[in-house]
Amino acid sequence: MVTLEVHNPAAFENAFRCRTVALSGTPLFVDYVKANLTNENLSVISPDAGGMKRAELLRETLEHALGRPLGKGLAEKHRSAGVVSGDLFAGDVIGSTALIVDDLISTGGTLLRTARSARTAGAKRVLAFVTHGLFMTGAAEVLVDPALDQVVISNAVPPFRLEPAQSKKLVILPAAPLLAEAIRRLHEERSLTDLIVF
């Protein structure tokens, strides 16, 4: 079973009695950065402690691809009785284009809170790299907030809940080439190391 950016890789791996492969959205985002952001001062931000591994994977892969160091950051997030809070931000984003990386957007509250924190900490632009854009109720309002300059998603989940006017900040990357590459490598018994979640 091959999937893309599972929310909980350990649970996914233990849920099936067959070989499982959890691909990362990182290759999609690295290609996008190489094509569009190579000359910018970049920082990679995790919106919460649970996403640090994902953010670090993207940061390290981008550093290797671009041949230079990138900044990093972390936003605080607490969830209690369905209410999300947290105002602390740690990292160096002053004057940079901050890249928030996450596995999914639901209502967009976490993303917006992180974007605002990065702006307050000195980021000049904020882009979100999110594999699955679910865009539940409230997400359309998040997309028009000036704290976010752009939201880059895969087409693994089409953004059908958004009206065309609400999608102006969206960049949609095709996931099919990544999935096809993984299937080809599996067929040829080649390594998937650079495509999977570590």
- The CATH number of whichever domain residue 59 belongs to comes to 3.40.50.2020
The span from the CA of 151 to the CA of 58, in Å, is 16
Please report the pLDDT score of residue 18 as a whole number: 85
Could you confirm whether 169 is annotated as catalytic? no
pLDDT digits 0-9 by tens, 76-106: 865 655 655 567 889 989 999 999 999 999 9
By C-alpha distance, which of 175, 138, 150, 160 is closest to 23? 175
Residue 190 lies in a domain: no
The span from the CA of 147 to the CA of 127, in Å, is 9
Contact 133, 153 (CB under 8 A): yes
Please report the pLDDT score of residue 17 as a whole number: 84
Please report the pLDDT score of residue 14 as a whole number: 81
Count up the domains in the chain and report the number. Answer: 1
The span from the CA of 13 to the CA of 133, in Å, is 23
pTM of the model: 0.91
Residue 15 lies in a domain: no
Residue 186 lies in a domain: no
Residue 7 lies in a domain: no
Q: What residue numbers bound the domain in which 89 lies?
A: 25-173
**Which one from 53, 77, 124, 168 is the annotated catalytic residue?**
77
Residue 198 lies in a domain: no
Buried b / exposed e across 155-165, counting CB within 10 Å, b at 16+?
ebbebeebeee
pLDDT digits 0-9 by tens, 117-139: 999 999 999 999 999 999 999 99
Residue 182 lies in a domain: no
Please report the pLDDT score of residue 83 as a whole number: 58
Low-confidence stretches of the chain (pLDDT beneath 50): 198
Angle subtended by helix axes 26-36 and 52-66, to nearest 10? 40
Please report the pLDDT score of residue 78 as a whole number: 59
Residue 42 lies in a domain: yes
Residue 192 lies in a domain: no
